[in-house]
Amino acid sequence: MNTQITQPPLLKIAITGGTGFVGRHLAHYLTTRGHSVVLIARGKDHRDPTVFQLPSAVFKAIGTSDETALTDAFQGCAAVAHCAGINREIGSQTYEQVHLQGTDNVIRAARKAGVQKIALLSFLRARPDCGSGYHESKWAAEERIRASGLDYTILKAGVIYGAGDHMLDHLSHAFHTFPIFGLVGFGAPRLQPLAVNDLVRVLEASLIEGRLSRQTVAVMGPESLTLEEAVRRVARVVGKSPLMIRLPIFLHALFAGVFEISMKTPLLARAQLQILQEGIVEPLPYADRLPDDLLPQTAFTEESIRQGLPPPKGFRLSDLKGFN
């Protein structure tokens, strides 16, 4: 008796935030598996120009504020990976506009285009009434997706790292620039660094294989570390030994405000500060556990860190607003 293994069909997937960190990793992965993708982004992120030349990829220079354009872009797509998001507000790019109105537009456009499923990339500790616009708006986006009537998967992810991320990128640049590094507060907040490739595999299971239907799942790396342990591990791989000192939260809040005003991509944003100070190992309010075969396996080792590091260099004037 011959037993044939049924392969998932080749599908077209729309990715909002398609040129961003997670979006472009997902696009690379899906196209190498034979699927086609529609990259939806405003066209402002050019850190990885190879994403624009991917086979079976179409780029749509639109944001999530244009429901009509989204409906057109979603035509023929089996699912949408909703990865668009911000961690600080800049001009018209507010949490309300991106996380709430943008999600509403994605839902309506998906319905009109006949899309069957939405996978939303959220944050592990997104929750209501916590005093953070980032956390609260991410939670509100989750609630909109759950109430949409569409099939969905919500991924409450922890700190994600990999080539082109903010964490390894900024830590490396900081170690190459400053002889001193300020640790957040006087406690020992913990995190479970999540390799972007592990996250992409969970997205594939949802978008392509139809798994995790109507579930909200926590996605964290396999190893729990204190923030200090993680920072020291990255410094060791970078080959730097900065003096690490603990600074009170109010100083970090001051620095974050200055960074948001002065830097194109802040070394630390205020939303990120709240994320770091409260720890990132427990989903709030609650999330389902992933099936065993989808649990992330990539430990935060020297090798996995090295694979995600940018070329060695410090911060430059071009990292400041007003400089090209």
Q: How much is the pLDDT for 43?
A: 74
Q: Is residue 39 part of a domain?
A: yes
* pLDDT score at 150: 98
CATH at residue 215: 3.40.50.720
Confidence at residue 156, expressed as pLDDT on a 0 to 100 scale = 98
In a domain? residue 229 = no
**Could you give the number of structural domains in the chain?**
1
pLDDT for 143 equals 98
Instruction: Specify the pLDDT at position 8.
Output: 66
323 in any annotated domain: no
Report the distance separating Cα 62 and Cα 59, nearest Å: 9
Bond preceding residue 311 cis, omega within 30 of 0? no
CB 192 within 8 A of CB 218: no
**141, amino acid identity:** A
pLDDT at residue number 198 = 98
**138 within domain boundaries:** yes
Q: What pLDDT score was predicted for residue 154? A: 98
User: Alpha-carbon distance 257 to 175, whole Å?
Assistant: 21
Examine residue 126 and state whether it is found in any structural domain, yes or no: yes
The per-residue pLDDT for 49 is 85
Kindly state whether residue 253 falls inside one of the protein's structural domains: no
- Residues of the chain short of pLDDT 50, as ranges, are 1
User: 112 lies in a domain?
Assistant: yes
Domain membership of residue 119 as a residue range: 12-160+193-221+281-296
| Beta-strand runs (E) in the chain | 12-16, 36-41, 57-61, 79-82, 117-123, 151-157, 160-161, 180-184, 190-191, 194-195, 215-219, 225-226, 243-247
pLDDT score for 1: 46
Query: Do 133 and 95 meet the contact criterion of CB atoms below 8 Å apart?
Result: yes
Identify whether 62 is part of a domain.
yes
C-alpha–C-alpha distance, residues 275 and 184, integer Å: 11
